[in-house]
Amino acid sequence: MSTHYGRAQHLETPPGFVHDELTKAEVKEREAALVPLTDSVRRLIDALVRTQVAEQGMEDVRHRVDALTEELLADALPGPHGVRFGSDGGYRNYGNPVVGKGNAIAPPIAFQRDGEAVSAEFELGPAYEGPPGLVHGGASAMVLDQMLGEAASAGGKPGMTGTLTVVYRQGTPLGPLRGEARIESVEGVKSVVRGRLLTRPADGSEPVVCVEAEGIFILPRWARQDPAGVDREHVGEA
């Protein structure tokens, strides 16, 4: 279930939000090391899905991967990363499976805002395959859940996913895709958001709508005490 809150430090801090004192410079330094490592592991996942090396070769790689994993676990959190925020004014949700900078299963996707609408151009490769050559329906739903939540935040109505209705118009091909979403209506603490995934043809032909979704996003109770303190920035997953 997606959560799209705002500036939690102005409100009662909900579970999973952790305040730290990292400066912008420290965050930048951390991400300069984290993002390339995440990219490398993402390539490893893709390679694992597609590899045809002999069994002995896979066994050798497994031992090396296990050794590297132990290096990273030598200093690791005991549980989920959660959402971290601090004096730098930003939010760090590195574990998010769609946009997390520290999560190698995230495509990743960078959303662009245009007023109260959001869009993104991205690729889903072999690691997201369901039917042969097509994106797994659950992966499409996950991306749209995130995108609709981003649109709710862009429209000043951040919240948690209450319902998500997904309609699969046709198979979504692996490769370049485009996503679009915007708020359709607002009623109190609820906002209705609609979005879709489209093909992104390389030959310049017309894009085709593959998946459509409608979600109801609800402002959480802890944020209702000070709605003005909740800004439009997406901050995480619940």
Mean of the per-residue pLDDT values of the chain: 88
* Token pair in block for residue 198: 């489209």
Question: Stretch 202-217: mean pLDDT, rounded?
Answer: 96
Q: What are phi and psi of 180, to 5 degrees?
A: -140, 145
Which pTM was predicted? 0.87
Total structural domains within the chain: 1
For residue 8, pLDDT beyond 70: no
CATH number for the domain spanning 158: value is: 3.10.129.10
By percentage, how much of the chain surpasses pLDDT 90? Answer: 68
DSSP state letters, the chain: -EE----GGGSPPPTTEEEE---HHHHHHHHHHHHHHHHHHHHHHHHHHH----HHHHHHHHHHHHHHHHHHHTT--SS---EEEETTS-EE-TT-TTT-TT-TT------EEETTEEEEEEEE-GGGBSSTTBB-HHHHHHHHHHHHHHHHHHTT---EEEEEEEEE-S--BSEEEEEEEEEEEEETTEEEEEEEEEE--TT-PPP-EEEEEEEEEE--GGGTT-GGG--S---EE-
pLDDT level of residue 176 (50, 70, 90 thresholds): very high
Cα 58-62-64 angle, rounded to 5 deg: 120
For residue 124, pLDDT beyond 90: yes
Range of the domain at 80: 2-237
For residue 238, pLDDT beyond 60: no
Amino acid at 224: R
Handedness of CA 183, 185, 189, 195 (dihedral sign): negative
d(CA 203, CA 76): 46
Amino acid at 91: Y
Residue 163, strand partner residues: 216
Question: Stretch 110-132: mean pLDDT, rounded?
Answer: 95
For residue 7, pLDDT beyond 70: no
What pLDDT, in 10s, does the model give residues 86-117?
A: 776 678 899 999 999 999 999 989 999 998 89
d(CA 119, CA 207): 14
Cβ–Cβ contacts within 10 Å for residue 47, how many?
A: 13
pLDDT level of residue 125 (50, 70, 90 thresholds): very high
pLDDT of residue 76: 95
- Among 11-15, 45-49, 105-109, the minimum mean pLDDT is found in 11-15
The answer to whether 129 touches 120, Cβ cutoff 8 Å, is no
